[in-house]
Chains A and B, each alone.
Chain A
Amino acid sequence: MTLLREELARFIQIEGHRVEVAPVGDGAAAELLFRSRGYVFSVGAREGEPPHFAIATAYEIPPWARERAQNAVTLQDVANDVGDVHFVLAPNGKNFVVRLDCAGASLQEFQRDFWTSVARVREAGVAALERILDRSESRAAANKFIKSLTRGD
């Protein structure tokens, strides 16, 4: 019997992309890694009826914008805006993961919507990073303004 991960790996390869496959845990699940548009995406696939799929990628937060508490709030705001995409901020605040769970979809349904789902993950990640950077930049600008006010001429 062909494993889900093998069918999925073949699909991604037919679509033109190199894939690395690694079994996870008891072997019923696997992680498939591929690159697209400069990002490395992870596809989680768990055998079962129905199977479970997830697509994720990670974004690095520039050192000057790593304010963990503020960024956690920002990611939650973006998650509320974009719907069923989840964000996980690393404990060290250096990066965050964007994940889309595709529970209940058959392999065929998952493959049919695969690139749309990848685009949703990518766009949500880009939107979140932009918002983090916007907040940091506006905060930096506000700080400069406040300092210049308090310093006086």
Chain B
Amino acid sequence: MDSDRLAPLELALEEEGLFSTRDDDDEALRVAFKSEGDRYFIVSYRDDPNFVMIGSGWSLPEGAERERVMRIINALNARKKFVKSALWEEENDVLFTIELCVVTPEEIRPHFGRLLDVLRDSASEFFAELRAG
């Protein structure tokens, strides 16, 4: 498979004025980047070249109540376009991912800004709701 498969998304990041780093291995192609200080990633698996995931992971604050976290995540999943939200209990993290099936990641490039916005919004709405108690 073409090892430059994620190159169009690296270009999209450049167009957004963001730096990115590449970290590929035998299993996956990965791009990591930051926006406004928050960390994001893009992953494409070598054995599933049509799948592309853009995401971010956030630590939950100490003492966050599991039931409450799940209720907020469920509401986001029901309401938000594109974004899948999940509690990753092992790490006490909440994950926001956009999972896409594409012929080529070039298809994502014109929509990249919108997808990044919705990822940011999901995280900020999650934490705003969590803080609201």
Contact = CB atoms under 8 A, between A and B. Distances in A.
A13 B34 CA distance: 9
Interface string B113-129: 10011001000000000
For the residues of B in contact with A, the DSSP-based class is: mixed
Given A18-B17, A18-B18, A37 B33 contact: no
A143 interface: no
Contacts, number: 39
B36 A16 contact: yes
Q: Chain A interface: which size bin?
A: 10 to 19
A145 interface: no
B74 interface: no
Given A35-B16, A35-B17, A38-B16, A16 B35 contact: yes
Interface of A: 13-18, 34-38, 40, 115, 118
22 contacts: A14-B37, A16-B19, A16-B33, A16-B35, A16-B36, A16-B38, A17-B18, A17-B35, A18-B17, A18-B19, A34-B17, A35-B17, A35-B18, A36-B17, A37-B113, A37-B116, A37-B120, A38-B113, A40-B17, A115-B36, A115-B37, A118-B36
